[in-house]
Each structure stands twice: as C-alpha cells, then as structure tokens.
Amino acid sequence: MRIARTIAPRLFWLGLLVGLGLAGCARSEGVDFGLQDLDGKTHHLSDYRGKWVLVNYWATWCPPCREELPELQDFYERHKDKDAVVLGIAFQNATTEHLRQFVEQQLLTYPILRDRPREATELGPIPGLPTSFLVDPQGRVVARQVGPVSAAGIERFIAGRSGTGSD
C-alpha cells in the first residue's frame, strides 16, 4: 500500500502529460456527449461550459475506483459552486438500484451518469478503470489519467493551466 501511494502521484502527472499530448493533437475543439443520471435526467457535457469538468469513468467492482471516490467528492464539494464539477460515469452493466445503493453508501453527491462499457468514448479511449478526463471551460479535453486521481493533483493542474491559485 505504501508503494502505491508513492507511485500514484508520479503516475498522475505522467498520465496528465500523456493526456495533454493526446488531447492537444486530437481534441482542439469542444466535445460533447449526453448521458442519463440515475434519475433518468440527461446531462450534456456542454451544460457545464464555463467550468472545468472532471469526467471520471469508474465501476463499483473496481478497487482503485472506489479508493479515489472520496478524493472526487472532496474536489466536487470545494469547487461545484465556483469553477469546476465532477461527472462520474458508471462504466458497467448494473441495475439502477445497485448503482443507487452504492452511491448512497459512498455518500456521493456529484452527478453519476451511466454508460455502457466500450473501448472508446467521445472523450477518448478507456484503456482501464478508473479513467478520468479533464475538460477545460471551453469544452476541450486537456488531460487524461488512467488510474486514480487526487483532489490536490487536479487542483494543481487546473491552477497551472489557468494561472490562478485554488482554495
């Protein structure tokens, strides 16, 4: 466990750098998708233009996904009313009731959307779970991370891209 905690920050930045290279080449214009949440309401990525959006593909059966959920919730709570949001995308075949119970047990309050497992999405490939994409306020994918992310790492990256500090 200690090894994973020391390697994780390095992997986060490596993933962001790789994601920047991939995103910069492939996604210079804004992207969009529409997915339903657990109540059947459709959320479009474009609904969140003007804010940073962390789009996190995960599954209930995935231990690293479950490990990062408190970090995503923390980031969401600190930023939802200001400059950033989290969209969690359950990337598995599961009943709505199963997902709803899991979300309630984990005390998640950010939007949880559903998508079917597939190799690539509108944002890019999903080589493993969790996979997160960071979308800038203009709707462009600026980073991709395969593996867990941290609230502090996301905040540092955003601060570096926007030239401002974070709370």
30-70 pLDDT, tens digit per residue, is 899 999 999 999 999 999 999 999 999 999 999 999 999 99
For residue 70, which of 109, 38, 39 has the smallest C-alpha distance? 109
92-118 pLDDT, tens digit per residue, is 999 999 999 999 999 999 999 999 999
- What are the residues whose beta carbons fall under 8 Å from the beta carbon of 114, sequence distance 6 or more? 35, 36, 37, 38, 89, 90, 96, 99
pLDDT, position 164: 54
pLDDT, position 147: 97
For residue 149, which of 137, 157, 160, 139 has the smallest C-alpha distance? 157
- 41, 80, 82 from 119: Cα distances, Å: 25, 29, 33
With a threshold of 0.85, does the pTM exceed it?
Answer: no
> Can you tell me the distance from the alpha carbon of 100 to that of 112, in angstroms, rounded to the nearest whole number?
9
pLDDT higher than 70, residue 165: no
In the chain, the percentage of residues whose pLDDT exceeds 70 is 80
114-132 pLDDT, tens digit per residue, is 999 999 999 999 999 999 9
> Can you tell me the distance from the alpha carbon of 82 to that of 76, in angstroms, rounded to the nearest whole number?
10
2-162 CATH: 3.40.30.10
pLDDT, position 28: 55
| pLDDT-based confidence at residue 29 (cuts at 50, 70, 90) | confident
pLDDT, position 51: 97
For residue 107, which of 73, 71, 68 has the smallest C-alpha distance? 73
Give the tokens for residue 114.
Answer: 């559903």
Q: What are the extents of the domains in the chain?
A: 2-162
> Can you tell me the distance from the alpha carbon of 132 to that of 16, in angstroms, rounded to the nearest whole number?
10
Strand partners of residue 44: 34
Over residues 16-40, the mean pLDDT reads 67
